[in-house]
Structure 1
Amino acid sequence: MEASIVHSFFLIFAGAAVVASLALFTKQPLIIAYIALGALIGPSGLSYINEPKLMDEMSHIGIIFLLFLLGLDMQPSHLLNMLKKASWVALASSAVFALLGYVITLAFGYTTTEAIIVGVAMMFSSTIVCIKLLPTTVLHHKHTGELVVGLLLLQDMIAIAVLLVLYAVGGQEQSSYLNYLIPVIGLPLLIGVSFVFVKYILLRLIARFDRYHEYIFLLSIGWCLAMAVVAETAGLSAEMGAFVAGVALATSPISQYIATNLKPLRDFFLILFFFSIGASFNLDLLPLVIVPALLLALTSLALKPVTFRFLLKGLKEDPSTSWEVGFRLGQVSEFSLLIAYLAASIGMIGTEVSHVIQATAILSFALSTYVVILNFPNPIAISDRLRRD
């Protein structure tokens, strides 16, 4: 087993180094290179790696660290104001995108249930792609970054509610009313406990042993993963728990030191995440799903900026900010992939429709990444003028 993991890691990271070099020489985004590598050497490609589930589980840690680092950059008061301000925008836009997916899927002859699931999958934008393309030291502290993050968090809350409904419909959970109630109670309780723990225990430990850099590193990782596990136990997502853990530390001066030191670890797992997306896709089904998936991805990329431009006008946002937020949120979410897997596993949709959602997500990741890196400030921009980190 150890040899298999080492061999898999060799193929992934040596391969990633090669495709990253090619991508940089040809001025292509690295995210697309990692997904392409997964498709090439994964089970439906050359089949050099046959453990996409293991890779997927490990890559999930990258998303957890990403949200933790995001939380470290967010001041609680600013975040709360933005969530209050943008809640109706998140709800209204989700309804529009769900209707879009439903109508297009029906037009291709799929069943009503399948169209509903595709519509639901279209509601959300990718937290991981959006945050990866936000400048880590500039935009997070600006209004545009706060809007993007606020809308993503609200969408994540809606996505968690959707997943709870799917679990209930699939009969995988008992006492469904209790399952709906637990997250409602769990989130404020989680926030309260985290802030109290940070104030009275964590910060005192850091202040006493701040000379030991290894200790700060271990303590921050332990805090992040502990909150992720607690959140999952409370019926929330691990990502949300990690984000709360980061926000609770954000008011401390040590937050930026922790963020800087955890970035290499985050990037290690994020490479696994994008690789696993490509590796988990069955290329044999591509001819069946490419047309509806391409139409859904292109329509999402075209309609989301227009929708957010219109809705954010109601918040008196200026046009340039509204357009930028819309284009940054133009893709489909990793939550959509989870919805596709879950709906297929409980028999609500077939394998073909599941791959329509997966292909839509992958295409939208690629197209949206190109739009952002060519037009807006981001850490991986091809142009020196737009590169910010």
Structure 2
Amino acid sequence: MPHADSLILTLVGGFVLAFVFGMLANRLKLSPLVGYLVAGVVVGPYTGGFVADTELAPQLAEVGVILLMFGVGLHFSLADLMKVRKIAIPGALLQIAVATVLGWGLGRLMGMGDLEATLMGFALSVASTVVLLRALEERKQVRGEVGRIAMGWLIVEDLVIVLALVILPLLVIQPGTTLNGMELAGSIGWTLFKVAGFVAVMLVIGAKVLPWLLIRIAHTRSRELFTLGVLAIALGIAWIAYQLFHSFALGAFLAGLVLNSSPLGHNAAERSLPLRDAFAVLFFVSVGMLFDPRILVNEPLAVLGVLAIVIIGKSLAALVITTFFKLDRATSLTVAASLAQIGEFSFILAAVSVSLGGMSRGTHDLILAAALLSISLNPFVFALIDRMGGKPKATPKPETAPVRDLI
């Protein structure tokens, strides 16, 4: 492929096929994410026909990661989390721990090392905000108690992922490097201290400077400059965080969090939404490009194992936890079904693990297979829990659908 054409061909191939397969998935009552991932598989190097630029696509995907995390920060609600903190915080942490242990156990049975097995389990423990929102919206439960608990649960998972992406480079020891327990603990402690300092600077100084800057840009009455300003803030702070901690996610999340509390935070969210939609699609397409579908045939038992952890293991853990907190049967079943899938943050964690050398390409493919299958099966999981007593109660007045924060 001529280098001069690689960008436009990658964009055209990615967007067109993502639209086609996304529409097909939607007609089949599946999440469009399934279509975007399949589009990536079609243009990937493991299938015949047109092959997109496998070096350029991941770079475009990085922009998608930044804007996804920026959107999470923009829509992060500490107040909503505090309302359900007694359930969401311990529930999410316990469910992550259970899924990680199950994944570690499966990984060890498959011959993986402790670190790779743990990373696989951790990636399987985090549900997709996009899929969760879609499911709750279809059931008109976003603004009910179930929606608040499930979204609070995912907010905790998002925060854990952000922290994990910062610490991960320290856990993956490069070949030829030796690091004892004390040195590792010291490195993690120093990194967390720097992260705390960076967060403090962003929340104290950034909370004054960035809103002031946005207001100044708004005074120009130029929609283009305001949109560019929002994008520059997101990308700029993400780059600073990457230079300091090798994590785009932390900077992008904090940039969104700071702007969320500003008077123009809602405008910033509206202006960045089209860009986030576009680059998020490219992110999912690029993830699909990395997936080798032959693993479904070559390793069927391994695929079934990781899928069982996502759908059965996580659901049972969530069901036990919510039952312990004395939630009613319908709420417990719905929360459990909501978490029976994995998505965007699992992809991010797996991709970073592969790039650092902490995870093999085969394990990465297992996680992608679990994502594709669990997202596709999630509507059937909801249908099953409805028959078990999880069907939402009829309400005389339908809810107004909220503004979607990702896709």
With the length of structure 1 as denominator, give the TM-score of the two structures.
Answer: 0.80
Q: How many Å separate the matches in 2 of 1:308 and 1:13?
A: 36
Q: How many Å separate the matches in 1 of 2:228 and 2:354?
A: 39
| 1:53 maps onto 2:58 in alignment | no
Q: For residue 392 of structure 2, what is the aligned residue in structure 1?
A: none
Q: For residue 330 of structure 1, what is the aligned residue in structure 2?
A: 340
Q: How many Å separate the matches in 2 of 1:280 and 1:118?
A: 16
- Residue 218 of structure 1 deviates from its aligned partner by 1.6
Deviates more, 1:76-85 or 1:111-120: 76-85
Out of 27, 30, 33, the residue aligned to residue 31 of structure 1 is 33
Q: How many Å separate the matches in 1 of 2:270 and 2:36?
A: 23
| 1:62 maps onto 2:77 in alignment | no
Q: Any stretches of 5+ residues in structure 2 without a counterpart? A: 387-397, 403-407
Q: Which amino acid aligns with 1:202?
A: L
Mapping for residues 57-206 of structure 1, pairs under 5 Å = 57-79=59-81, 86-108=88-110, 110=112, 114-127=116-129, 129-130=131-132, 139=142, 143-144=148-149, 146-160=151-165, 163-168=168-173, 177=187, 178-199=190-211, 201-206=212-217
Q: How many Å separate the matches in 1 of 2:218 and 2:383?
A: 40
CA contact (8 A) 2:6 2:53 kept: no
Structure-2 change in CA distance of 1:388 and 1:53 (3 Å): farther
Structure-2 change in CA distance of 1:331 and 1:158 (3 Å): farther
Q: For residue 367 of structure 2, what is the aligned residue in structure 1?
A: 357
- Residue 58 of structure 1 deviates from its aligned partner by 0.9
Q: For residue 284 of structure 2, what is the aligned residue in structure 1?
A: 274
Q: For residue 237 of structure 2, what is the aligned residue in structure 1?
A: 227
With the length of structure 2 as denominator, give the TM-score of the two structures.
Answer: 0.77
Q: Which amino acid aligns with 1:35?
A: L
Structure-2 change in CA distance of 1:319 and 1:2 (3 Å): farther
Q: CA RMSD in A?
A: 3.8
Q: How many Å separate the matches in 2 of 1:366 and 1:128?
A: 13
Query: Aligned with 1:263: secondary structure?
Result: helix
Structure-2 change in CA distance of 1:344 and 1:150 (3 Å): closer
Query: Aligned with 1:124: secondary structure?
Result: coil
Q: For residue 266 of structure 2, what is the aligned residue in structure 1?
A: 256
Aligned residues: 379
* Amino-acid identity (%): 25
- Residue 272 of structure 1 deviates from its aligned partner by 0.9
Which consecutive segments of 4 or more residues in structure 1 shift more than 6 A?
171-175, 372-376
Q: How many Å separate the matches in 2 of 1:387 and 1:81?
A: 21
Q: For residue 4 of structure 1, what is the aligned residue in structure 2?
A: 6
- Residue 168 of structure 1 deviates from its aligned partner by 4.1
- Residue 274 of structure 1 deviates from its aligned partner by 1.5
Q: Any stretches of 5+ residues in structure 1 without a counterpart? A: 377-384
Structure-2 change in CA distance of 1:240 and 1:86 (3 Å): farther
